[in-house]
Structure 1
């Protein structure tokens, strides 16, 4: 039996899928999220979101009436769906923050932008905006709280959904022989400091990550 640790609590259906693929599962929340109110209004700015947490927190600060005329760029289909459901126009959906950053100078240099993010956001988007000399503001709409736990077993796989989860897990644990399964490129880049045994799904979403974990071991080699 192969042993897997997920750094996010899994749904019942996900557990059944992975157990059916031969995994023995431990799971916990390596991080928790606290929403913060922001006074930076969307107005007629172009909005940037690089996580579902940022989108959910944004909607805690502003009513649907205040956001229905907004335009946005975001990372991930999940975030895009949340935005569209509230009437926010999604101009483009990217697979990663680096892809989003690469589009800013070419397509959106004339826009005034607001980056809604967490307190542990990476520097990529702000540095890109500054380098391009764009007009922008940053609004911190949620706080990520690490929940480090020491695990006293070796795992064949450790599953990560964010760079913050990587930071939380590695605060008290070594990767050892485990393969790190990461939801996307930004998370895998954070994990690369600790191991080079990393696998990511082609599509950076939770369903694709579960499908990757459920594949027979011989198909991953």
Structure 2
């Protein structure tokens, strides 16, 4: 009998999602902890607003500040972020796959200033590129990401990553010897700094990442 491939899943999955991974030996372990700040004060919002993730939107929702987005142009990274905004009756003007693409789009739009809602570990591409092009960035850090940095004794054949922070958390105390399967291009870009072999989900969803894993190992 062929031994099952060992897969580390870096977030908790639903029972239905686990069923789709029945051909693997699964280990579930969260690598990061998110703390939403719903107590921040918001005195003013620019006419152009940017969200780096769904967690940034959650912070405004929990703080009762979604109303501040009415009448302004909203841009975001990721389809999940855009979907969550839509649930709150906010339509994103443009949805980018990563922060670099969003920055380049905004440079063409030429706003004088943007309000950027993000986490404490956000990547630097977007604010750096905008500032280089003389666009003022009002950065609002509205959630905290803590790296849990667990140490694993066993080796894995593959690892499912859902954020750049998860990649960094794993690599703090573990060797990047497995295949990295990533949800989204931003996570994949970070993974390529550490892992030799990186796959990115064709569809940016948990189910899409599971499908990519199954296809890679011939279980599609």
Indicate conservation of the 8 Å contact 2:160/2:182, yes or no.
yes
How far apart are the structure 2 equivalents of 1:153 and 1:168?
Answer: 17
Indicate conservation of the 8 Å contact 2:46/2:115, yes or no.
no
What is the TM-score of this pair, normalised by structure 1?
A: 0.90
1:102 to 81, 101, 104: 104
Q: 1:41 to 1:202 in 2, by over 3 A?
A: farther
Structure 1 portions without partners, runs of 5+: none
CA deviation vs aligned residue, 1:82-131 (integer Å, no higher than 9, x gap): 11221223101111112111111112x13531010000111111101100
Equivalent residue, structure 2, for 1:80: 82
Secondary structure of the corresponding residue to residue 214 of structure 1: helix
How far apart are the structure 2 equivalents of 1:139 and 1:103?
Answer: 20
Equivalent residue, structure 2, for 1:192: 192
Deviates more, 1:211-220 or 1:167-176: 211-220
Deviates more, 1:109-118 or 1:39-48: 39-48
1:7 to 6, 10, 13: 10
Indicate conservation of the 8 Å contact 1:68/1:87, yes or no.
no
Equivalent residue, structure 2, for 1:33: 34
Q: 1:39 Cα deviation (Å)?
A: 2.2
How far apart are the structure 2 equivalents of 1:32 and 1:91?
Answer: 30
Equivalent residue, structure 1, for 2:209: 209
How far apart are the structure 2 equivalents of 1:64 and 1:121?
Answer: 21
Q: 1:58 to 1:39 in 2, by over 3 A?
A: same
Indicate conservation of the 8 Å contact 1:67/1:87, yes or no.
no
Indicate conservation of the 8 Å contact 1:76/1:205, yes or no.
no
Is residue 16 of structure 1 aligned with residue 19 of structure 2? yes
Q: 1:218 Cα deviation (Å)?
A: 4.3
Q: CA RMSD in A?
A: 1.9
Deviates more, 1:70-79 or 1:137-146: 70-79
How far apart are the structure 2 equivalents of 1:103 and 1:16?
Answer: 40
Give the number of aligned pairs.
216
CA deviation vs aligned residue, 1:30-82 (integer Å, no higher than 9, x gap): 00111123323464521111211111112223344333333211111111111
How far apart are the structure 2 equivalents of 1:43 and 1:123?
Answer: 21
How far apart are the structure 1 equivalents of 2:19 and 2:144?
Answer: 31
